[in-house]
Amino acid sequence: MWEGQRTLGKLSVKVSAMGLGCWAIGGPFWRGEDAVGWGDVDDGQSVAAIRRALELGVTFFDTADVYGTGHSEKVLAKALGTDRSKVVVATKFGNVFDESRRQITGEDASSGYIRQACEASLKRLGSDYIDLYQFHLNGYDIERAVEVRDTLDDLVRAGKIRAYAWSTDDAERARLFADGGHCAAVQHQMNVFNDAPAIVQLCEARRIASINRAPLAMGLLSGKYSRGASLPANDVRGEKSPDWMTYFSGGTPNQRLLERLEKLRELLMSDGRTLVQGALGWLWARSERTIPIPGFRTVKQVEENAGALRHGPLPAEVMAEIEQVMERR
């Protein structure tokens, strides 16, 4: 029976089956000349949206120190206020940045830097602990990653963090962290366009959470972007988007995926769901370990995302039809 909750791995705590991703509310920031934020943002709207999420039963919030070069963590802290202890907060480390210039300046996974980054995040979050601390360097050298995991185990013992995860799309890297004593999850890209069977299988075998970033394909699965759409230059999906951006190219939607979406639309919107709610329902039906974290900037977006919790996973027969459309079976 659908309860609208999921267990966050070895933390053994229940969280809402959908969390909220706080990348967009960090506002603009850059890596050199490349935009890696989601454009301009209104902090008042962001706070109101998070407060509405709390009212709707959302208890899991995912951010990173680098989002808005610290700004996302600060906004989340302001919004949660005295409700901090009622929710689970995940953040990330590994990117070095200049907060005053809103620029990513490098990467660092040394033990000393991890400890320093942890203290800085605790300060911005206004908290004395982090529930889930996630390594943010997707393709970091797997042999050196053992040292990162050991440092995180030390931080657990020190009471600074409760558990850790690796934000990576590589199953071998995820497995290395899963071997650690306090790994609770893997954060990885997954949506109806991009399945991740190897990582899902790992999460199910190790009984850890599969935290799904880009659950709405960076907004493409919202249905609001058509062939003629274009995004601003300070948006990560805009004209100067990074090489890994596959859902948009040159600031416009991926035409092949738009065509796939039209074939999926009716299936995803079964049982009175919106397109967004169907996309989230696909993830829940995919595995009992999944926790999608759609982004947001407005109260309206939060209400639509959280509304998916009323519908739950897509039915098995709909899932089978979707797999046929996607030619995965």
CB of 188 closer than 8 Å to CB of 200: no
Determine the residue type at 290.
T
Helices (H) then strands (E): counts for the chain: 10, 16
Can you tell me the distance from the alpha carbon of 13 to that of 225, in angstroms, rounded to the nearest whole number? Answer: 37
272 Cβ contact partners less than 8 Å away, ≥ 6 residues apart: 311
Task: Give the start-end residues of each E strand in the chain.
Answer: 5-7, 14-16, 20-21, 30-31, 34-35, 60-62, 88-93, 95-98, 103-107, 130-135, 161-167, 183-189, 209-213, 248-249, 252-253, 290-292
Q: How far is CA 23 from the centre of its chain?
A: 8
| Nearest alpha carbon to residue 182 among 214, 216, 206 | 206
Torsion of CA 114, 117, 121, 122, to 10 degrees: 70
| Nearest alpha carbon to residue 85 among 97, 77, 93 | 77
Phi and psi at 327, nearest 5°, equal 60, 40
Place of tokens 């454009």: 39
Sheet strands side by side (includes 103-107): 34-35, 30-31, 103-107, 95-98
| 67 among known catalytic residues | yes
Catalytic residues: 67
